[in-house]
Structure 1
Amino acid sequence: MTTLVVGATGATGRLLVEQLLKRNEPVKAFVRRTGTFNEFITTHPDFTEIQASVLDLSPDELARHVAGCTALASCLGHNMTFKGIFGKPRLLVTDTIRKLCAAVPGSGTAQPVRVVLMNTAGNRNRDLAEPVSFAQRCVVSLIRTLVPPHRDNEQAADYLRMQIGQNHDLIQWAAVRPDSLINLDEVTAYDVFPSPTRSAIFNPGKTSRINVAHFMAELVTHDETWQQWQGQMPVIYNR
């Protein structure tokens, strides 16, 4: 099994790469510049760096990179700077996921590829009747208007939900929704639910990045975990 990771140099992406390599799972990672990973990753025999941007590659080039991969994982996010929030590409996550999925049919795979998207608990799964208060709806609507990255997260998940759907021949997916992200050094106990159990706006929980990475690695590598959550948008909280 080989996993292609985008957003691999980010705070969660690096942890996901480590989690997969520790399980002896081969990893390919798209990077803008080389030499940004720690020694464990860079010297691991199952790790391959690809110095390129998905959005800059032609469909044929991307299909060649996707070939042989059993999973595609995105930990992409916008840099929390003025340019990162309001500059282009406005739909970084959505456009990347769309291009990756479009490359799968041309990759020569005969088995469904698992697509795991890191999303946010602030995004509703519209396939379910998730209870959201009127006040939270108003705040999220304001955020959607004023903060482009939130709209990007919503549209990326909606692409998987509505365009790929539940019955695609070659693509299966899951969108992982952490709540307020924190940094911890070790994996700790965590809980996963089909929908939020608290308000992401008025009563947010905490989710460590390393727990997100661990759960995403579980989805990629464990068939039982995948069967439980594929086609869904599980929410993860630290216990």
Structure 2
Amino acid sequence: MRKIGVIPARYKSSRFPGKPLVKILGVPMIIRVAKIVSDALGKENTYVATDDDRIKNVVEANGYNVVMTSEHCLTGTDRVWEVAQKIEADIYLNIQGDEPLLNPLDILSIAKEKEKHPDYVINGMIDIEPNEDPRNINLPKVLVNNKNDLIYMSRLPIPGIKDSLNGIPVYKKQVCIYAFNYQELKCFGNSNEKSEYEKHEDIEILRFFDFSIPIKMVETSSNSLAIDVVEDLEKVEKVLKDKS
């Protein structure tokens, strides 16, 4: 069973232009993420999907595979769908390119969960840490049932609190590792538009609700720290320095 990891990367980010090429302790972020994916799946199964020659040149100079995609992709998953039409695999793992602290073992864990539940889209989650604010709209919050099936995902704090008599809920946030099969990506990509809730929340996984494709969330082993804005760089570099 072939599993490939695809890292969508675009240069024209409204909040952080050129983000994939920003250097973290001297190494471009896209290369740090590609190394994590290759540690999990092998360099031959690691692909960067981009529409920008600047990203392509850096990735290829570091020995990783590149698939050029349309500049009109609505989301990273739409970009993965374009890759799926060119590269054959049984499981397509979408790994967000702005998470340079991911654990390769979590990629393998989500791939394994996809093998166990082939009719589900698989996604990662973890408890929000005490120093993180559930009201931060850059952290998609996850609501699941007792089987870890996704009920909803929102940029607002969910579940809501009517009063504090029952204490504060344990908030969970999304970790941006996904696993799909070809047919799931085809449904997603061929829609050619964002779903209603996806548009408002700007959370692409919500589109699968419109196709009645269930989503299973998997607890990851370590916290992630995505680089959403320039200020996040310092936090990530501190973590890497502490690790070394």
Q: Could you tell me the TM-score, scaled by structure 2's length?
A: 0.37
- Normalized per residue, the structure richer in helix is 1
